[in-house]
């Protein structure tokens, strides 16, 4: 568009030029443009943007944009409209040699080198995965499996409950009206394969309950949301505060661990699935720590020597810690090139 308008401007200028050639001594240039024609307190320079027209630029500088042609007539050295590109800087300033006439000054944008420290650009993360992962399950210590309370019954004596149902609750610890609790069921306790010690338990969240009142040691509650059917004897724990503001980071020291567990007792895991590892707060892990998963190398028979040879480990994926406990953590599989299995190695060798 800028090019077409410039051609139109040149054509208009040629029409004026023919008249000046015939009676060169009898004609004078149109009246000059003074600084009074310029808009007051105008920041300069003007940076040409893609799609700009002459009218846009003149309207930026002048109170009356119709005067743009007089500026071009006073600056005949600008003969090629292709010399103005997005990124060019334009000034209008008074000449010192003459009266307060204005000249057009155009500076072509030149490449600039900016020295900045190298920064890692993280891939955009789907936060809905984090919300789902953190709201549907949790990793708790084995001694917390009893919870702080459990469901007794409902007002209408139904067996299963859902959102907006009113229920009766037995609390093992005092609770306040308005307090939120996660309803959960426990999975198997997870043991460290090397030490045999319990490191935690993956629990499934069924929903949330808000305490509405209490009387005679029995609490009333309202189910505010449910992911699965909630039943009598399902246990409660203080509601987790789910946040998606997890900053991915890479551990500075070398770490070595193993995959302990795959959600739902699955045999293998892939992208966006939940696993548990035997590294935790004791190894300075926290939410957002990025680790890599490696498969053990195979043992083969060297065809020339006949000896057994162990092939090196191969990286097969990356994970991000969601919840860290003292000796274990819950993690989300970010991506994997092969299926992840229990016993696969965990290292701090994620790609930086």
Q: Tell me if residue 255 falls in helix, strand or coil.
A: coil
CATH for 130-238, among 2.40.10, 3.40.50, 2.60.40, 1.10.10?
A: 2.40.10
Tokens encoding 220: 């009333």
What pLDDT is stored for residue 317 in this prediction? 95
Chain segment 201-247, per-residue pLDDT in tens: 888 899 999 999 999 889 999 999 999 999 999 999 999 887 767 88
| Alpha-carbon span 191 to 5, nearest angstrom | 76
Question: From CA 194, how far away is CA 202, in angstroms rounded?
Answer: 19
Dist. CA 332–CA 136, nearest whole Å: 13
pLDDT of residue 84: 63
- Contact, 319 vs 346, CB < 8 A? yes
- pLDDT at residue 35 tops 70: no
pTM: predicted TM-score of the whole model, two decimal places: 0.55
* Residue partners of 28: CB distance under 8 A and separation at least 6: none
Phi, psi at 142, each rounded to 5°: -60, -30
Least confident of 71-80, 199-208, 271-280, 291-300: 71-80
Contact 280, 321 (CB under 8 A): no
Its CATH class, for the domain covering 256-347, is mainly beta
Q: Where are the domains of the chain?
A: 2-107, 130-238, 256-347
pLDDT of the residue at 30: 42
**Is 40 in a helix, a strand, or coil?**
coil
> Whose structure tokens read 């040879």?
309
Least confident of 2-6, 175-179, 193-197, 334-338: 2-6
CA dihedral 78, 80, 81, 84 (to 10 degrees): -70
Are domains 130-238 and 256-347 of this chain identical in fold? yes
Per residue in 317-329, pLDDT tens? Answer: 999 998 888 888 8
Give the C-alpha separation, 137 to 333, whole Å: 15
Average pLDDT, the chain: 78
Cis check: omega of the bond before 214, within 30 degrees of 0: no
If DSSP codes are grouped into helix, strand and coil, which group holds residue 22?
helix
On the CB side of 94, CA atoms within 13 Å amount to 10
């Amino acid at each position: 568009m800028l090019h077409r308008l410039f051609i139109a401007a040149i054509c208009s200028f040629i029409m004026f030029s023919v008249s000046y050639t015939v009676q060169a001594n009898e004609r004078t240039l149109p009246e000059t443009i003074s600084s009074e024609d310029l808009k007051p307190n105008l920041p300069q320079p003007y940076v040409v943007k893609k799609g700009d027209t002459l009218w846009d630029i003149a309207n930026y500088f002048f109170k009356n944009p119709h005067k743009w042609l007089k500026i071009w007539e006073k600056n005949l050295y600008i003969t090629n409209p292709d010399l103005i590109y997005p990124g060019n800087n334009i000034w209008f300033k008074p000449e010192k040699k003459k009266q307060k006439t204005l000249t057009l000054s155009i500076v072509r944008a030149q490449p600039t080198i900016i020295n900045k420290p190298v920064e890692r650009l993280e891939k955009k993360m789907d936060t809905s995965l984090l919300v789902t992962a953190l709201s549907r399950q949790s990793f708790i210590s084995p001694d917390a499996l009893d919870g702080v309370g459990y469901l007794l019954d409902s007002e209408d004596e139904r067996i299963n409950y859902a959102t907006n149902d009113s229920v009766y609750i037995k609390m093992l610890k005092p609770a306040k009206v308005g307090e939120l609790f996660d309803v959960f069921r426990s999975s198997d306790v997870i043991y460290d394969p090397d030490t045999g010690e319990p490191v935690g338990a993956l629990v499934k969240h069924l929903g949330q309950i808000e305490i509405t009142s209490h009387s005679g040691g029995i609490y009333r509650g309202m189910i505010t949301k449910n992911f699965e059917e909630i039943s009598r004897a399902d246990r409660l724990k203080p509601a987790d505060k789910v946040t998606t503001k997890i900053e991915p980071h890479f551990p500075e020291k070398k770490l070595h661990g193993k995959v302990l567990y795959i959600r739902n007792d699955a045999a293998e895991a892939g992208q966006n699935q939940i696993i548990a590892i035997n590294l935790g707060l004791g190894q300075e892990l926290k939410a957002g720590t990025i680790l890599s998963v490696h498969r053990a190398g195979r043992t083969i028979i060297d065809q020339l020597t006949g000896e057994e040879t162990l092939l090196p480990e191969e990286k097969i994926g990356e994970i991000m810690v969601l919840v860290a406990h003292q000796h274990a953590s819950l993690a989300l599989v970010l991506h994997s090139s092969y299926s992840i299995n229990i016993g696969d190695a965990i290292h701090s060798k994620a790609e930086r």
